[in-house]
């Protein structure tokens, strides 16, 4: 076994992987420098850079990758940082290759250099003030902080997040933004009015909106501002002028029904939209119907998030029907809404139209057995490249286990499955265990499913010798102490795979249930002992 890989897995369980330490960032800069300045399989095709130029670009590559990964992490703050680390590495690799392709002296990725095409400079640089101290920003500090924007016309991306602009600071920013708006492509104004009184915050938003009106943006992030309907309207000049948006982020904005309708009314076109993120808003059913209209008019949509938005039956049905038009969808996140069975069935019909879907987050939607079964079947039949599926907290019982097994057997690219906080019990766990040897699954979260001895042993046996398996989460079940000891012995060489068991309750469950299940324990144990497990190649 590869001990290094298992150490990383253990870290992902016990600590946050993001943000990286300063030492880690420095080490990465040194590694990037070496990649740019020494011969490798890449530099056989492209020319190496000199050491000094390589170091300069390495710092800029790392800075850009860090900003991208940090924004990704802030948009998904409940994770352990693993996906942010992946984004960090991916962005570094992409930017390294871009620099090598451009070659010595013409290479550039960020803040100060330019990409030169036929002698004409194309702005592709990024100005970001979000990494500094979180603070209220007034005029004098704004003058200093934004001065680089006056001195250069190269910036195509700006991020003003994490600083709270007052009226005086906004007035300093206004003429600067007006001078840049024709070249700006990405604007991040997330969390830029925190702590300001409503009247002042609305006035600041209007100033920024007016200054940026007419900018042909590809990406706009207004997340983590208390917008509501008034805030959305305050950004009306900017929103009404956008017809080429590819990414729109409106998370944790207090988007009510009226605010959602305002968003729908103000944006003139979403034909090019690829990413639309709503999260932690007060959208409700009526608001969801308005958002559904935006979705319906976004045929290129690839990434849609509408989680924790208080949507019930009516709004859920509207969204499900709208999603049928998004045939390019790759990632769907609808977690933590009040959909119910009928929406689950309607959503399954939409999923059958998404052949490119790789990630589906459908936890806590009150789907129950009928709705969940419809979704599992749709994914099995129509989504060949599914990699991640989350169906936690949907009141799924053992009746659905055969459908889950069928999905597992048919999806060889599926690497992560979360069915936690359901009622699969031992019977469902054993059926899933029997399918695991036929899959490429690397992570299974089946915590809090009233699993006891037989189910736990079946799952453990199924994955204990799979070389590529990373995590089996059995926490929050009813596993006896002696069985816990057996499991730990099975994973003695790689304890991180088993994961924590601190919330396991060996005495949990109703007494009657325990007695009923105990009567069938011998049969379940027999199935476990006869389970055939093969090592992976």
Residue 168 lies in a domain: no
**Average pLDDT value for residue range 96-117:** 52
Number of domains in the chain: 1
Residue 79 lies in a domain: yes
**Average pLDDT value for residue range 300-323:** 97
pLDDT tens string 386-405 = 999 999 999 999 999 999 99
* pLDDT at 519 > cutoff 60: no
Contact 122, 154 (CB under 8 A): no
pLDDT tens string 168-195 = 999 999 999 999 999 999 999 999 999 9
Q: Which domain holds residue 71?
A: 22-102
Residue 37 lies in a domain: yes
* pLDDT at 101 > cutoff 60: yes
CA distances from 216 to 187, 358, 435 (A): 10, 30, 51
pLDDT top residue among 458 and 467: 458
Residue 58 lies in a domain: yes
Residue 225 lies in a domain: no
Residue 494 lies in a domain: no
Residue 402: its pLDDT value, please? 98
Residue 92: its pLDDT value, please? 84
* pLDDT at 39 > cutoff 70: no
- We report the CATH number of the domain holding residue 28 as 1.10.246.200
- Please, is 4 exposed, middle or buried when counting C-beta atoms within 10 Å of its C-beta (0-12, 13-18, 19+)? exposed
Residue 76 lies in a domain: yes
Contact 497, 469 (CB under 8 A): yes
Is residue 359 within a helix (H) or strand (E), and if so which, with residue range? Answer: strand 359-361
pLDDT top residue among 139 and 26: 139
Residue 86 lies in a domain: yes
- Alpha carbon 471 to chain centroid distance? 19
pLDDT tens string 219-230 = 999 999 999 999
pTM of the complete model: 0.75
**How far is Cα 325 from Cα 407, in angstroms, rounded to an integer?**
24
* pLDDT at 14 > cutoff 60: no
Residue 313: its pLDDT value, please? 98
Average pLDDT of every residue of the chain: 86
């Amino acid at each position: 076994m590869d001990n290094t890989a298992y150490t990383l897995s253990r870290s992902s369980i016990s600590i946050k992987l993001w943000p990286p330490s300063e030492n880690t960032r420095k080490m990465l800069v040194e590694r990037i420098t070496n990649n740019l300045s020494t011969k490798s399989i890449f530099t056989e095709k492209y020319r190496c850079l000199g050491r000094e130029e390589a170091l300069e670009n390495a710092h800029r590559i790392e800075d850009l990758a860090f900003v991208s990964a940090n924004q990704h992490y802030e948009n998904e703050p409940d994770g352990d940082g693993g996906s942010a680390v992946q984004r960090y590495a991916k962005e570094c690799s992409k930017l390294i290759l871009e620099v090598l392709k451009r070659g010595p002296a013409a290479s550039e990725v960020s803040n100060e250099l330019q990409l030169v095409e036929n002698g004409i400079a194309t702005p592709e640089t990024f100005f970001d003030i979000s990494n500094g101290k979180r603070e209220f920003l007034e005029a004098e500090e704004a003058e200093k902080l934004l001065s680089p924007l006056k001195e250069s016309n190269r910036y195509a991306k700006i991020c003003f997040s994490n600083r709270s602009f007052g009226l005086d600071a906004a007035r300093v920013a206004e003429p600067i933004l007006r001078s840049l708006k024709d070249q700006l492509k990405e604007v991040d104004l997330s969390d830029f009015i925190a702590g300001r009184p409503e009247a002042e915050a609305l006035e600041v938003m209007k100033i920024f909106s007016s200054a940026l009106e007419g900018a042909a943006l590809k990406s706009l992030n207004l997340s983590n501002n208390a917008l509501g309907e008034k805030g959305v309207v305050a950004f009306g000049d900017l929103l009404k002028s956008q017809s080429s948006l590819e990414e729109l982020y409106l998370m944790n904005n207090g988007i009510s029904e009226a605010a959602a309708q305002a968003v729908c009314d103000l944006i003139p076109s979403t034909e090019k939209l690829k990413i639309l993120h709503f999260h932690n808003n007060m959208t409700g059913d009526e608001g969801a119907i308005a958002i559904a209209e935006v979705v319906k008019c976004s045929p290129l949509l690839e990434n849609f998030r509408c989680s924790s938005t208080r949507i019930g039956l009516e709004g859920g049905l509207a969204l499900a029907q709208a999603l049928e038009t998004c045939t390019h969808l790759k990632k769907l996140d609808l977690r933590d809404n009040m959909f119910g069975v009928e929406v689950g069935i309607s959503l399954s019909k939409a999923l059958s139209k998404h052949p490119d879907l790789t990630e589906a987050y459908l936890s806590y939607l009150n789907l129950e057995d009928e709705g969940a079964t419809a979704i599992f079947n749709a994914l099995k039949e129509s989504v060949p490249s599914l990699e991640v599926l989350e169906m936690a907290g949907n009141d799924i019982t053992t009746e659905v286990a055969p459908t889950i097994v069928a999905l597992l057997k048919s999806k060889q690219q599926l690497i992560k499955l979360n069915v936690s906080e359901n009622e699969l019990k031992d019977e469902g766990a054993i059926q899933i265990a029997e399918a695991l040897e036929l899959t490429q699954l690397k992570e299974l979260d089946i915590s809090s499913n009233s699993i006891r001895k037989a189910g736990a042993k079946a799952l453990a046996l199924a994955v204990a010798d799979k070389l590529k398996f990373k995590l089996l989460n059995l926490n929050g079940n009813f596993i006896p102490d002696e069985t816990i000891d057996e499991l730990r012995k099975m994973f003695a060489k790689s304890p991180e795979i088993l994961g924590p068991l601190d919330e396991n309750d060996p005495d949990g469950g109703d007494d009657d249930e325990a007695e009923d299940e105990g009567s069938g324990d011998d049969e379940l144990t027999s199935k476990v002992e006869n389970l055939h497990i093969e090592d992976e190649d």
